[in-house]
Copies of this chain bind each other. A is one copy, B any other.
Amino acid sequence: MTATDPHRTAVPSQASELVSTLPGRYYTDPAIFAREQEHILESRWFCAVRSADLARPGAFRTATVGRESVLVCRNRSGDVRAFLNVCRHRGAQVCTAEAGEVRRSLQCPYHAWTYDLDGRLTAAPNMADMPGVDRGERGLIGVHVREWLGYVWVCLAPQPPSFEETVRQAVARRLDDEEAVERYGAEDLALGRRIAYDVAANWKLVIENFMECYHCGTIHPELTDVLPEFAEGYASQYYVGHGARFGEGVAGFTVDGTAGFGRIDGVTEEQDRRYYAVTVPPQVFLNLVPDHVIVHRLFPLAPDRTLIECDWLYSPDVVDSGADLSRSVELFDRVNRQDFAACERCQPAMSSRAYRDGGVLVPVEHHIAEFHSWVGEMLGEAEL
């Protein structure tokens, strides 16, 4: 940290105080989780699938969003559509596979009700005997869709919040720059590796963990070797617009600090040799380094279980070249495993009388309180 690094001066006030976390029940109570499903996961923009995984018209993916199975597909015009994955006739899941491809229509395999790729009911057996059936009214129930950063974001609310305000601007504010994230061109990158983690911890523990770096010195030896400032406990998210600087002798963001790949086109000199992290609540982590982007999508499944899909994205020429990605991937894969183990170690204690009123945030963790306020606001609670 030097005087030439202005972003690292915006320190919260009351820095020497301890601030309370959420009470333990917020991490264990099924009723609170149900309210989070309704008011957060099914009401906010939710990053469901990678656009490139829907390569052609007819390609589909299913994703768990809150309590719902959502069917995301690409229509004949090449646009992405999303629906509740439930046939309007007798309620069979239209697609049960995680991924697949159809030709022109989605057909329920129970009674063959058939929908086009925009969700319209187009055919059903004995349809001629049902002149009164309004095909428009009986189509698959649509879900709002946006594409950004190469991902399909869905929102199950009838009136979604502003995507611009709650997603794009939220990221811009964290990075203190409207254009910063765009420069990595994530929508043009190629998937180098995807790893799924099944974590026995509440989703909020995973978010809190990602937001702070007070634990970095204790559990992330490889990461602090690459980003020495992390050993001091200050996460890049502690600041606005700060990217943690690579260590002097570090050649790249790899498990052993050896060289990675060429800088992504568009990444600026200022962004080079830095690691930026952004949390997009409720369920996305963006990790930006010069030669790749790592995107975490969290799928909260139960109060004590979160599925996490992590994508490592590289320039297409890197992936196409068949280059060895292993040292590049292994750095954050280790970080993930170290983090998720820590979260799983916290989960059982959330129900202890010792955590009835929660724990504490030390000064370098104070920004987590903003997340807690956001949760409270979403749940309609003035004070948590």
Contacts and interface: CB of A to CB of B under 8 A. Distances in A.
Contacts of A16: 129-132
A31 interface: no
A32 interface: no
Given A67-B351, A93-B349, A133-B18, A88 B360 contact: yes
Contact of A218 (B91, B112, B217): B112
A178 interface: no
Interface stretch (A257-265, A289-297, A314-322, A340-348): A340-348
A368 to B, nearest CB: 9
- Chain A: number of interface residues, binned into ranges: 35 or more
B362 A126 contact: yes
B349 A110 contact: no
Interface stretch (A79-87, A168-176, A180-188): A79-87
A264 B12 CA distance: 68
A42 to B, nearest CB: 8
A21 interface: yes
A377 interface: no
A67 B110 contact: no
Contacts of A96: 345
**Interface centre among A67, A93, A125, by most B CB within 10 Å?**
A125
Interface string A269-299: 0000000000000000000000000000000
Contacts of A84: 352-354
A251 interface: no
Contacts of A86: 349, 352, 354-355
A359 interface: yes
Contact of A349 (B92, B112, B129, B362): B92
A218 B24 CA distance: 49
A53 B132 CA distance: 52
B110 A352 contact: no
A17 interface: yes
B353 A132 contact: no
A294 to B, nearest CB: 22
A138 B141 CA distance: 52
B215 A348 contact: no
Given A130-B16, A132-B17, A359-B88, A219 B110 contact: yes
B364 A87 contact: no
A35 B218 CA distance: 39
A124 B362 contact: yes
A177 B84 CA distance: 46
Residue from A21, A214, A364 whose CB has the most chain B CB atoms within 10 Å: A214
A323 B81 CA distance: 56
Contacts of A219: 109-110
A126 B214 CA distance: 9
B218 A110 contact: yes
Contact of A364 (B126, B133, B233): B126
Contacts of A69: 348-349, 352
Contacts of A133: 18
Contact of A215 (B21, B110, B364): B110
Contacts of A353: 67-68, 84, 141, 156
12 contacts: A17-B132, A18-B133, A24-B91, A84-B352, A84-B354, A86-B349, A86-B354, A91-B358, A93-B346, A110-B345, A124-B362, A126-B363
Q: Which 6 A-B pairs have the closest CB atoms?
A: A86-B354, A86-B349, A84-B354, A91-B349, A112-B218, A92-B345
